[in-house]
Chains A and B, each alone.
Chain A
Amino acid sequence: MIALVDYGAGNLTSVRKALSALGAEFMTPAAPAELSDARAVIVPGVGHFAATGALDDSWREAIGDAARAGTPLFGICVGMQWLFEGSDEAPGVAGLGVMKGRIARLAGDAEQRLKVPHVGWNALDFTREARLLQGLDSGAQVYFTHSYAAPVTDDCVARTSHANTFAAAVERDNVFGVQFHPEKSGDAGLQILRNFLEIARQDARR
């Protein structure tokens, strides 16, 4: 069973529909203790980083413990941002900190008419081999909608350029994250979700 963490930030309907279409079995845990049985954990999210404050110490501990125990963990959009140490969008709210670095506001460029929020389809520039991106080619287009983003670090497996370049996908051991919305990115997005489900299946067999 995959745990889809619902912390009240926006709308999980699309993620649920996509997981169901791929035949995944998932549940939304009502309490952190329920995470101990999960084969994989997905932290979705849309909207403001402050919403992740609803993931209190007990949730942080349960999700952190699962990740340290090797359970595949996948953060989507604000859920990916939460894997980092914190965000300039809500300086008082700490991230999980399993990825090094801090989320910062995207730069725009009035002259080139590059607006913030960054809304629409943009290309992934692969920076290294990644389990999450199997079956896709560098240059694949995915759907973004965000104003803040993660820095390009050693954990970055695909970067995207707007006015500046940011981490569009990250991967380290059993921890994965994407800034874009795989559940809204057509066939490319479904492939990434399928890859994560496959990782969850393989890692569970170990």
Chain B
Amino acid sequence: MLTKRIIACLDVRDGQVVKGVQFQQLRHAGDPGELARRYNVEGIDEVVILDITATLEKRQALARTINAVAREIFLPLTVGGGIRSEDDAAAAVDAGADKVSLNTAALRNPELITTLAKRYGSQAVIVAIDAKRREDGFAVFVRSGTTDAAQDAVAWAHEAESRGAGEILLTSMDRDGTKAGFDCEMTAAVSDAVDIPVIASGGAGTFDHFTDVFTSGRADAALAASIFHYAESSVADLKRHLRAHGIPVRL
């Protein structure tokens, strides 16, 4: 049986892992290679490196950081943040990424999804969607959450799939870093609209939040940062908790 994946996210700025709350107030959380090594020992299923300030500061994804992490782990590695062109994606892949995550660039230039899916396969292309609740749905934001994209998350996820995306990484901006729980309603709405896997992100604070997002949220994978970085909880403890609650995980 396919297990539910637990993914650790390393938000990286200037080669160091940082973490904020609702995309603001960044604080230092450690060295990417060291954190990746610890997570691997604890049984993490995948690692995502997000160059979170890249879009604003116009930087390319950091090949050095990718290399430092890829040296430590033999697990699927995704790189996102500031990937705007086929060349940016190729640089990330050449440095050791198995998948690239597109956000702003996918909305601005949806053809890029198809181009990369043709070159590397759909399994290598994740479309990341940052969304906020609205009365009438879930509004997509781009440029690190600063710009309203005038798109609904459910419709955009569906379009991204039809253009060749292999997975959707859905982040609740309302919940990001708050530890108030995943936005299960939003995750379920997107998961129901697509046939590709949906990775839920934003709001993980307790083990039960993960149980919730895998049941009522209908997520295929869950991504978290804060809960793991500061050694508040180990990945292994989380997985034992999930298994005890009937969620299939790799242990």
> Does A14 lie at the interface of the complex (its beta carbon under 8 Å from any beta carbon of B)?
yes
Contact B74 A18 (CB under 8 A): yes
Q: Which of A46, A114, A121, A184 contacts B3 (CB 8 A)?
A: A121
- Give me 7 A-to-B residue pairs in the complex whose CB atoms sit less than 8 angstroms apart, sorted by A's number: A10-B121, A13-B94, A113-B218, A121-B2, A141-B250, A184-B75, A186-B75
Q: Which residues does chain A contribute within 8 Å of B140, judged by CB atoms?
A: none
Q: Which residues does chain A contribute within 8 Å of B197, judged by CB atoms?
A: 115, 117, 119-120
Q: Which residues does chain A contribute within 8 Å of B250, judged by CB atoms?
A: 121, 141
> Does B123 lie at the interface of the complex (its beta carbon under 8 Å from any beta carbon of A)?
yes
Contact A14 B98 (CB under 8 A): yes
Which residues between 108 and 167 of chain B lie within 8 Å of chain A, taking CB atoms?
Answer: 120-124, 166-167
Q: Which residues does chain B contribute within 8 Å of A122, judged by CB atoms?
A: 1-3
Q: Which residues does chain B contribute within 8 Å of A10, judged by CB atoms?
A: 120-121, 124
> Contacts A46-B120, A48-B121: A141 and B218 contacting too (C-beta < 8 A)?
no
> Contacts A108-B195, A114-B2, A121-B3: A11 and B74 contacting too (C-beta < 8 A)?
no
Contact A120 B74 (CB under 8 A): no
Closest to B194 in A: A115
Contact A17 B45 (CB under 8 A): no
Q: Which of B98, B195, B220 contacts A120 (CB 8 A)?
A: B220
Q: Which residues does chain A contribute within 8 Å of B120, judged by CB atoms?
A: 10-11, 46-47
Closest to A190 in B: B74
A115 to B122, CA, bound (A): 14
Contact B71 A17 (CB under 8 A): yes
Q: Which residues does chain B contribute within 8 Å of A146, judged by CB atoms?
A: 123
A122 to B1, CA, bound (A): 6
Closest to A18 in B: B74
B residues at A contact (CB < 8 Å): 1-5, 40, 45, 70-71, 73-76, 93-96, 98, 120-124, 166-167, 195-197, 218, 220-221, 250
Q: Which residues does chain A contribute within 8 Å of B2, judged by CB atoms?
A: 114, 118, 120-122, 162
> Contacts A17-B96, A21-B74, A186-B40: A117 and B220 contacting too (C-beta < 8 A)?
no
Most B C-beta atoms less than 10 A away, residue of A13, A21, A141? A13
If over half of B's interface residues share one DSSP class (helix, strand or loop), that class is named, otherwise mixed; here it is loop
Q: Which residues does chain B contribute within 8 Å of A184, judged by CB atoms?
A: 74-76, 98
A168 to B36, CA, bound (A): 28
Kindly provide the distance from the CB of B94 to the nearest chain A CB, expressed in whole angstroms. 6
Which residues between 179 and 201 of chain A lie within 8 Å of chain B, taking CB atoms?
Answer: 181, 183-186, 189-190
Q: Which residues does chain A contribute within 8 Å of B75, judged by CB atoms?
A: 143, 184-186
A162 to B248, CA, bound (A): 13
A11 to B92, CA, bound (A): 11
> Does A93 lie at the interface of the complex (its beta carbon under 8 Å from any beta carbon of B)?
no
> Does A153 lie at the interface of the complex (its beta carbon under 8 Å from any beta carbon of B)?
no
Kindly provide the distance from the CB of B67 to the nearest chain A CB, expressed in whole angstroms. 9
A114 to B2, CA, bound (A): 8
Contact B70 A17 (CB under 8 A): yes
> Does A94 lie at the interface of the complex (its beta carbon under 8 Å from any beta carbon of B)?
no
Q: Which of B74, B93, B121, B195 contacts A185 (CB 8 A)?
A: B74
A17 to B69, CA, bound (A): 12
Contact B1 A120 (CB under 8 A): no
Q: Which residues does chain A contribute within 8 Å of B221, judged by CB atoms?
A: 120
Q: Which residues does chain B contribute within 8 Å of A47, judged by CB atoms?
A: 120-121, 123-124
> Contacts A117-B123, A119-B123: A183 and B74 contacting too (C-beta < 8 A)?
yes
Q: Which residues does chain A contribute within 8 Å of B121, judged by CB atoms?
A: 10, 46-48
